[in-house]
Structures are given as structure tokens and as C-alpha cells.
Structure 1
Amino acid sequence: MKRVSTLFLKIAVILIGIPILALCIFLVPELGNVAEEMLPDFAYIKYLVSIVFYASAIPFYFALYQAFKLLRYIDKNEAFSQISVTALMKIKYSAIIISCLHVLALPLFYVFAELDDAPGVIFVGLVVPFASMVIAVFAAVLQKLLQEAIDIKSENDLTV
């Protein structure tokens, strides 16, 4: 049963990465062009938008890789080990980096909201940083719980 559930989660991790890859290929260049059209005074805005979104894809895929490794550790019955704690720590830092990069892009969402007179655009810009921070907090809590479980396990192994 455990292998089936981890297999399902591994497939889910892979399927999560595919739409982000499609967004990076098709949507990010289009967003750069839209930003260039809306703000013709800032010629570098197209490259700034591309850099922020492509730079946030790197820690995203790194976190997905760490999640995949964590699922492999579960398959090998190494879930309660220091390497699992390290993988959760890397996921946490990746989520924090993604959140910080998208916070840097929030002024662009404000400018777009002012130009289109649509204040809801700002809330759309807050979705990714908020979701990334939720993931970072969740990974931090899991990391702490796993570390405490490892500590308790090592104490029990020493007392026997």
C-alpha cells in the first residue's frame, strides 16, 4: 500500500512540474511583451519580468526534486533520518526564495492595476508569494516534527 501511495505522489510531483514548464515556455515571454507594451518608458521591464519568473522556476524545480527524493526515502524506509530533515529544509528555503522573488514583482502588478483600473490584479499577484510562504511554514513544521521524532528514536535506541 505504501508503494502505491508514494507512486501516486511521485506522479503528482511530476504532473505539477509540467504546467509550470509550459508557463515558462509560453506565458513568461508573453508577460514580458505585455509589460513592455504597458510601460514603454522602461525598456528593461521585459527582461526584468522574465528574470523574476525564470529565476523563481529554478527553486521551484529544486523543491520538486527534493520532494521526489523525500518520497524515495519513504520507499526505502529512511523517512526518519537526517537526510529527510535536510530535504525538508531545502524545500523550505526554496519556498522562501520563490516568495521573495514574487514579492519583488508585486510593484509590476500594482502598475498594471493602475493602468487597467483593476485593483483585483494586486490580489492575483499575492497568490504565489502567499502560497509559497504557506509551503515554507508547512515544511518548517514538518522538519521540526521529524527532527524531534529522530531525536526521540535515538534516545530510545540508546536506552535499550
Structure 2
Amino acid sequence: MAVLLIGSPVLALCLFGVPRIASSDTSILGPELSFWRIPLIIGLYLTAFAFFVALYQAIKLLGLIDKNEAFSELSVRALTVIMTCAVIISIFYVAVLPLLYAVAEIEDAPGIIVIGLVILFASTVIAVFAAVLKKLFKHAIEIKSENDLTV
């Protein structure tokens, strides 16, 4: 349930927020940055896709934990995909921060930069956390296989 609640605001932004950026009448980019509209829309949808892939992998990982199969290769693969998606999102927002700065200057809204930084830092923390968990799970799998061989 929590994973669905996490994904619902992003889905709402994809359905209602991004089309607002796409429309030329009400675009928040203004005429000075209108040539960035299409690349920004493509990037936002790609990062939303990566976000939903990571959420799906999180659901799979939670299912493995429920079945007491947390320390398996499937969980390591799920963590790898989550880490990769978080890195993709981080890279996109690093590339988009100058554009967010320009929009903030035009609109006189510094909160836009803060939102971009929060998303960047959150996805970076998730990538680091997933990498640490992946390493721990691999180590636990090695210990488990050694113990299975000794018995």
C-alpha cells in the first residue's frame, strides 16, 4: 500500500503537470526557454518511467521478503535495477539543474531549484542505499551457501 501511495503523486504529475508544460499557452518555461520544452518533457517522462520501474522492483523485493527469500539472487537483481534507476534519475536532474535555475530566474521562484535538488539528493541516497544493501545481500548469500555446504 505504501509503495502505491509513493507512486500516486508522480503519476498525477505525469498526467496533469507535464501536459501543462507541454502546452504552449500555459507553459511555465516562457518564451525565452520554449525551445527546451520537448527535451524537458521527454526527460521527465523517462525519469518517471525509471521511477515506476524502481517501484515495481521494490514491490518484487517486498514479495521476496514476505516469502522468506530475501537473500537470493532475485533480490540482488532487484536492488541492482533500483540502483540503476536511481542513478538515471540523478543524472537527469544534474543535467536539468541549469534549466531549473533559468526558470527560477525568469519566474522569480527559487523553490524550483530546491525541488530539483531534493529530487537529486533523494535519488542519490536511494542509489547509495541500494548499493550498500546489494553488497550486504551478496555477502549474506555467500555465507548462506558456505553454511549449506558444511552441513
Q: TM-score, normalised by structure 1?
A: 0.85
CA displacement 1:82-102 (0-9 Å, x = unmatched): 111110011000100011112
Partner in structure 1 of residue 5 of structure 2: 15
Answer whether contact 1:52 1:101 (CA < 8 A) is retained. yes
Partner in structure 2 of residue 113 of structure 1: 104
2:38 pairs with 1:47? yes
Unpaired segments ≥5 residues, structure 1? 1-10
Tell me the amino acid that sits aligned with residue 43 of structure 2: V
Assess, with a 3 A threshold, how the Cα gap between structure 1 residues 129 and 80 changes in structure 2: closer, same or farther: same
2:87 pairs with 1:90? no
Cα RMSD for the two superposed structures: 1.5
The percentage of aligned residue pairs carrying the same residue is 56
Determine the C-alpha separation between the residues in 2 that align with 1:132 and 1:98: 7
Unpaired segments ≥5 residues, structure 2? none
Q: Secondary structure at the match of 1:44?
A: helix
Determine the C-alpha separation between the residues in 1 that align with 2:75 and 2:112: 38
Answer whether contact 1:96 1:132 (CA < 8 A) is retained. yes
Determine the C-alpha separation between the residues in 2 that align with 1:82 and 1:59: 21
Tell me the amino acid that sits aligned with residue 146 of structure 1: F
Determine the C-alpha separation between the residues in 2 that align with 1:94 and 1:136: 8
- The alpha-carbon deviation at position 69 of structure 1 amounts to 0.5
CA displacement 1:19-55 (0-9 Å, x = unmatched): 11001111112234111xx2x2454322122111111
Determine the C-alpha separation between the residues in 1 that align with 2:33 and 2:6: 34
Q: Secondary structure at the match of 2:14?
A: helix
2:93 pairs with 1:99? no
Assess, with a 3 A threshold, how the Cα gap between structure 1 residues 17 and 124 changes in structure 2: closer, same or farther: closer
Determine the C-alpha separation between the residues in 2 that align with 1:145 and 1:48: 38
Is 96-105 or 135-144 further displaced after alignment? 96-105
Tell me which of 132, 135, 138 is aligned to 1:147. 138
Q: Secondary structure at the match of 1:78?
A: coil
Partner in structure 2 of residue 156 of structure 1: 147
Partner in structure 2 of residue 5 of structure 1: none
Assess, with a 3 A threshold, how the Cα gap between structure 1 residues 21 and 74 changes in structure 2: closer, same or farther: same
2:102 pairs with 1:130? no
Q: TM-score, normalised by structure 2?
A: 0.89
Determine the C-alpha separation between the residues in 1 that align with 2:83 and 2:115: 23
